[in-house]
Structure 1
């Protein structure tokens, strides 16, 4: 089932992780304008206050007044209980009329970029990072696909918010680069295994977000830190709005190769 740029995403169940701020928040806002009445948005993050605020905004928006259902789940996806709560909420809010399942795996953390690879000796610290940034994406995606199996007239789309760091090593960013590379391969494998599934690894580019602020202050590698500082000073950081608009374009056109890694600058 392929949709064109001029058609909406249909009556959708859309699950967005990391939805409380930054790119995830903007994705929720933009996708709410593209789905049909009766669609359901499940917003997931750890900050309940931020999720409640976003839910209220979307409910009061034109889409909300037209019949968009907005639910939120405040959960730690690094724990299996968090994954299970998202699936439970999605099943409760969904209906048999849903024709498009969209899962946007956006939740991620930068990790400690103030140290180099040789300094990571605490296995518990590394495991904790990988649990949130890799394991949770795999378990949530698998659980959602099991909860909403393939059936006639249902399109299923899984998006991984990736990064250039999935392809290129950044000194002192060993945790982040490792997590992003692992996730890219995870979803490439998924695309090979599930030919009826639409899978996309989308790299949103360097955006003006809290994570960027943190990177410019804490990155141990001087060259990487200077590069980001120059980008910010010269106005080269992307806004979440413009990067997210490129993702929406990809979802609406639906012509990408399933499993592909697509950078914002290639759209």
Structure 2
């Protein structure tokens, strides 16, 4: 899939979480080229980028204190002159503890054995985005599934997943070269956002593009 044009998102205030590694880092590298000079880039990690005002905010978004830290930083951030777009990409994620089965978890049937918290979180996010799209028609909302990525998170999954059959399947995916390159998936997401033809609130999978 061909990359979209440089500066294609115009002058943007962009917030990207989970940008320090894996899919988020690949996405940040590609996205930076699509922001016009004068854009403001807010994220947990990034290097200096010519023409962009980069404001890193190291924060643990799994805690209320970390979330409030990010929200406070956003409130204090001056809006760039001639702002054309506000882009929020919530990429920060965790598998939770996948070494335990459902009965041993304090939080509440999931497709992957041992992945109760992760799968429940994904399902909740999809519904939350659908509700947000219905309540805020002026906001474009997308839930993107990036595929089985070759990341540290996938390494953790294939080493600690409680179900041995699933663990072997994850290991086989790595051995057989079936894992998705982060850059390829990130490019698909950016092309999807640039075309902007998806239904707001939709769930789009990497493998369907």
Normalising to structure 1: TM-score of the pair? 0.72
Whole-Å separation in 1 of the counterparts to 2:78 and 2:17: 16
Whole-Å separation in 1 of the counterparts to 2:25 and 2:128: 24
Unaligned runs of at least 5 residues, structure 1: 45-50, 128-167
Q: CA deviation at 1:93?
A: 4.3
Q: In proportion to residue count, which structure has more helix?
A: 1
Computed over aligned residues only, the root mean square deviation of the Cα atoms, in angstroms, reads 1.7
Secondary structure at the aligned position of 2:92 is classed as coil
* Structure 2 match to 1:224: 166
* Structure 2 match to 1:162: none
Whole-Å separation in 1 of the counterparts to 2:69 and 2:99: 33
Whole-Å separation in 2 of the counterparts to 1:76 and 1:23: 18
* Structure 2 match to 1:150: none
Give the alignment partner of residue 71 of structure 1, picking from 15, 40, 55: 55
* Structure 1 match to 2:74: 90
Q: CA deviation at 1:247?
A: 0.3
Whole-Å separation in 2 of the counterparts to 1:95 and 1:242: 30
- 1:213 paired to 2:161: no
**In the alignment, is the contact (CA less than 8 A) between 1:191 and 1:199 conserved in 2?**
yes
The within-5 A match list for 1:1-267 is: 8-44=8-44, 51=45, 54-55=46-47, 59=48, 64-65=49-50, 67-91=51-75, 92-121=77-106, 126=107, 169-267=111-209
**Count of residue pairs brought into register by the alignment:** 203
Unaligned runs of at least 5 residues, structure 2: none
- Residue range with higher mean Cα deviation, 196-205 or 19-28: 19-28
After superposition, the C-alpha distances for 1:187-218 in whole angstroms (9 at most, x for unaligned) are: 11100111111000000000100000000110
Q: CA deviation at 1:96?
A: 4.2
Whole-Å separation in 1 of the counterparts to 2:112 and 2:54: 38
Segments of 4+ moved more than 3 angstroms: none
Q: CA deviation at 1:90?
A: 2.8
Whole-Å separation in 1 of the counterparts to 2:56 and 2:30: 17
**In the alignment, is the contact (CA less than 8 A) between 1:28 and 1:41 conserved in 2?**
no
Normalising to structure 2: TM-score of the pair? 0.91
